Structure 1
Amino acid sequence: MFAEAISKAGKEPTRTEGTGIAYVANAACVVRAAQRELGGRPTLLEVVGWFTQAHRRYQPSTIRQYKASLKTLGAVLRHQGKLAEAELAAVLQRLETPPQPMGNGPKRTSAKKRRSIRPAELRALIMSLRNSDREDDAFLAQYIGMTVMVFPRPIEWANAQRDGQRLVLVNAKTTNGRAHGPTRTIELPGMSRQQLEGIDAFLIALRTRADAKGNWQSFHRWLARQLRAACIRAGIAPLAPYSLRHLGMASAKKLFDAQTVAYLAGHACDRTASSHYAPARSGLKGVKAVIAARPENVGLVRVTGRASRREHLARREHTPHSPRPFVG
């Protein structure tokens, strides 16, 4: 429906129906913000006019998203007969002059999260939790261990399922081609029956706590507070739940190639992990591979040709080179 609407409006269609739905949802955020500041029920052209004057309010990536979202909303309204062709043209023309992006202001919340933790800090945190008599601390120690091992996004634990020697996770970021597919399957080779039952017990404990908090958002806020308090008690700088994903991925970079790390992380291409996540040097030392991915699944990840330093050195070592001529 969305692709058809945009096509009839003479614009390039989005990749999938899901992407179109996500764009319209994003556009609704802009509409609500404009309504709060303008009052009443502004037209789409008035909303776009407000957006293009919202200087230094949004990051460049957010501006690009909102521009695409407003274009999609305009195309859909035109297809539904709720927007005239001339009005759509005016909307698109107005969007050609986007607002000025946010300057060097305070860091966003995500940028303040720690991307690395020293091994000594992790040991101190785990020991502090294990020596505690609180049931929540025992669960938190399990959460840290499981998340560092599998490094999912926090929300991806909500629908995690074990299937034999595999753990199936639903990829959280699937719009705009950001994931290699709707799910990813993490192999658990060599794990004993007792270890697999431990994973089941962890998933049950996690969902029990999430249900007790009413919804996942409330559970995540509770988890973040518990982790912060545990770090303070252990005498280390506070961590966020997402910091554990950084640590697990950094450790995985010591064991797997970039394409495999990307699959295990739920990324569409092999560049995201190197651009946005902690480097391998921030990972744990002496880690052993307890998870894996099947080659046919790893093949779903798009290769950008950008290799790590370790991969470059390995390739160079096995590539014969002719001696360079001496120049006097």
Structure 2
Amino acid sequence: MSVTAQTIATYVERAARLRARCAREISVEVAELTPLRFVHWLVEQKSNWSRSTWRSYKAAALYVLTHEDRPLDEGDGAIAILGAESQTGAVVRTKETSAMKAGRFRYQDRMRVYADLRLGRARYGRELIDFLRASCATGLRPLEWYAASLEIPEKGYNAKLVIHNAKTTNGRGNGARRTLRWRHLSPSMMRSIARTIGLARSFLSDDDYTKYYGRLQGCLQDVSRRLWPDKEQCYAIYCCRHEFIAQAKLVYAPAEVAALVGHHDDETAFTHYGRRDSTGVVDIELPIPDEAEVAQVRRTVATQLEALSKLHERDDTPVTSRSPADPQTVAEFEPFPTPPVTKKDEPAPDLSLWPNFYKMLHAPPTDSSSFGSRRERRDDTTSDIEPNENEQTGIKPP
């Protein structure tokens, strides 16, 4: 499994913070903290974390314990213990971090945030307005802006945005790039997108841009708490992507939504992002998905379905059923019994003990008449729905 340099840096930083916290809570120096004590502390803390938090902490700790320089066999036991720990015991949802962020960023609330930012009380108010408007119109991840570019559109479109997908390792993204096109993108929205790209590119490193994005995030949270002091969840910049996907679901098919946001399958957006509401209001100038990218998503989904169908294929080996020793056993356990197998030199078996419907379906006709004509030749007292009692039991009348 490939891991990017940015992911490795995140793992190292996260593991260092966890180690420092562990050492502080058990009153030892970080240098004296053994891998085994660190892992035991992690497992004990699992009940305080959500499942997603536990998975991220576990991945960071495993990576660092596996790749750090240490004497041979010193941490192998700790790695085995941590690797065997599942998310069982972690809570589904906590009241911390991402659980306190709203899922969608609806139109009325966005307008209130824009109005508050235009008052000039926030240091990054103008930049944040452009960032929010551009993110809602494009659905970009915050870290995708510094690698995005506005290009000359093809005939029939007035805007074209090319994005380098942020999550492309381990088969998570739909290719390295995705393209968004608009037929009628407003000039004001185009200016917001251009200013957001220019601002993101003004930073010399990814780290500088990440710090600036963190300041924008803090500014939005301050405004959100000021406008809705009694609201448990506050807004985050990533809510713009949720809102974009929620409104795209009202217009496009699942594969088209996945192509617009860079997902490799059509399930992620419908499972983990903003839900469609009953109002059906679309206030975002949605782009048009690229046909080639939509086809790629559908190929990926078809491959997944084919692999899944192979896992669930029925075994063709015949299942041994109970022998029809008596009519009750046959009627109860084998409504469609397997016909008796006979060899060429053996006499035909006696079918008198088999249910009447078996004889109807499998017995050869006595003449060239059809199955329907045989039904017509039945006794008038015999119902087509309820067969004769003697025929049900298989007992010949005297």
Secondary structure of 1:246's match?
helix
* Cα distance, 1:223–1:27 mapped onto 2, change above 3 Å: closer
Alignment correspondent of 1:58:
49
- Percent identity, aligned pairs only? 24
Alignment correspondent of 2:217:
224
Maintained 8 Å contact 2:131/2:192: no
Alpha-carbon offset, residue 144 of structure 1: 2.5
Question: Aligned runs of 1:228-267 on 2, under 5 Å?
Answer: 228=221, 230=223, 239-267=235-263
Aligned counterpart in structure 2 of residue 183 of structure 1, from 177, 182, 187: 177
Alignment correspondent of 1:323:
none
Alignment correspondent of 2:14:
29
Alpha-carbon offset, residue 41 of structure 1: 4.2
Maintained 8 Å contact 2:49/2:94: no
Aligned counterpart in structure 1 of residue 161 of structure 2, from 167, 171, 191: 167
* Cα distance, 1:222–1:286 mapped onto 2, change above 3 Å: same
Secondary structure of 1:245's match?
helix
Alignment correspondent of 1:272:
268
Q: Distance in 2 between matches of 1:23 and 1:138?
A: 34
Alignment correspondent of 1:83:
72
Alignment correspondent of 2:102:
114
Q: Distance in 2 between matches of 1:194 and 1:124?
A: 19
Q: CA RMSD in A?
A: 4.3
Question: Aligned runs of 1:130-169 on 2, under 5 Å?
Answer: 137-165=125-153, 166-169=160-163
| CA deviation string 1:30-85 (max 9, x = no partner) | 465335514224444443344334342433334445545555556556xx89534x
Alignment correspondent of 2:2:
16
Query: Relative contact order (C-alpha < 8 Å, sep 6+): which is higher?
Result: 1
Q: Give the aligned residue type for 2:261.
A: A
Q: Give the aligned residue type for 1:88.
A: D
Larger Rg computed on CA atoms: 2
Q: Give the aligned residue type for 1:222.
A: R
Maintained 8 Å contact 1:59/1:102: yes
Greater percentage in helix: 1
Question: Aligned runs of 1:40-59 on 2, under 5 Å?
Answer: 40-59=31-50
Secondary structure of 1:281's match?
coil
Length-normalised TM-score, structure 1: 0.66
* Cα distance, 1:291–1:49 mapped onto 2, change above 3 Å: same
Unaligned runs of 5+ in 1: 1-14, 306-328
Give the count of matched residue pairs: 285
